[in-house]
Structure 1
């Protein structure tokens, strides 16, 4: 028996990248995983791989997210661990950023966290329960050419810290994971945008992003998942309100 046997973990954005890596790691630790995502094919593939369940929903639609949480709870019982991971990014000069872009990024990266936390918290107010918000190092410092993304991730960090304090005496822990550039489809999209704007190749753009990490390479999704799983472990009950940076040493 492994440490997460009998536990129910829900992960948003579970079809690719960090979310899929977290699902695999938790399944390996014995947890039953419920995956929420917009693309059925992606989350169903990860569900088959991990023995979990897939629930299709756009987290920016509060009714869809609510139905998915309800269905996951009906399928596997109350949540023990909830990882709010779904997110999007964009990069462009602030004065060329449209209001629609701002609204879309805030809806996914911040407002959906508010909705998800409210849906999850009725299950989580007990010792051993865990809520992890996947934020970003962009939530800890400013960043040019990405104001909406940076603002949304500052909000994500603030939400995690506030919930950690508010619910600390229930036994729940709430923490934020703050990775830098991770080798995921989101970084692929960033590299394509940079290539289109600068004339560089996509490979050159990826290399440029990798160099911003302290170790000179992209962080892997599995490395982020490892830190998430550490925060979910029963021995991590004293870690609450933390912002765990995974950036290869950039913030050292």
Structure 2
């Protein structure tokens, strides 16, 4: 029960990496606040982990403020904040609409700014606090046909590293985790888009995405959650400003 009494807040906590992280932290005794837009999957994970399901649109700062207040009322100040909510899309750059750019940046970048700034009063008060940003290997290199997504993830990594330096002398560490293609609903959506514009089935599209990982398989959400769990442990207090890849060697 290494996280007993610790309050962990997870955005995008109803599916994929967020849900897997919630399960892992619950096993360690953490008190959980799960934020997300869709209530049904949040409620399911909350029932499984004993956490609180809190509806929240992370693209609206006022909604984050309201959700954070609800989370604090339920479980007290934050100890571990995992900013995991994210979206993706793919299209040739010249066909990418400004609305698509704005939507991706609002979720993948601006929500990190708001989510971090509003959590900092808790994270800078007390011992052994953690902020973990779920980025992507797309933040470490280019990504053809996914320029807005890659740009947002470069920004996420830059934010994590900058905050790590700014708060290096405090009890807060800030790190990014960078998975490659993970077996989550986001990959399901990507496979559906590929299938729609090509002659491939969705399963063939999933296999094509898996083949883009050097291992030839999709990373599991549990593998990413295990890395997040490690960063949350007291023994990881000297890991700060790191960008940890979980990609089967893709960026080696």
TM-score by length of 2: 0.99
The residue that corresponds to 1:72 in the other structure is 71
Q: Which whole-Å CA distance do the structure 2 matches of 1:52 and 1:93 have between them?
A: 41
Q: Which whole-Å CA distance do the structure 1 matches of 2:248 and 2:146 have between them?
A: 21
Q: Which runs of 5+ in 2 are unaligned?
A: none
Q: CA deviation at 1:88?
A: 0.2
SS at match of 2:5: coil
The residue that corresponds to 2:100 in the other structure is 101
SS at match of 1:130: strand
The residue that corresponds to 2:186 in the other structure is 186
Q: Which whole-Å CA distance do the structure 1 matches of 2:250 and 2:75 have between them?
A: 40
Q: CA deviation at 1:127?
A: 3.2
The residue that corresponds to 2:7 in the other structure is 8
Does residue 229 in structure 1 map to residue 229 in structure 2? yes
SS at match of 2:8: strand
The residue that corresponds to 1:84 in the other structure is 83
Q: Which whole-Å CA distance do the structure 1 matches of 2:181 and 2:164 have between them?
A: 26
Q: CA deviation at 1:67?
A: 0.4
TM-score by length of 1: 0.99
The residue that corresponds to 2:158 in the other structure is 158
Q: Which whole-Å CA distance do the structure 2 matches of 1:102 and 1:131 have between them?
A: 26
Q: CA deviation at 1:16?
A: 0.3
SS at match of 1:168: coil
SS at match of 2:169: helix
Structure 1: which 4+ aligned runs deviate by more than 6 Å? none
Q: Which whole-Å CA distance do the structure 1 matches of 2:42 and 2:171 have between them?
A: 31
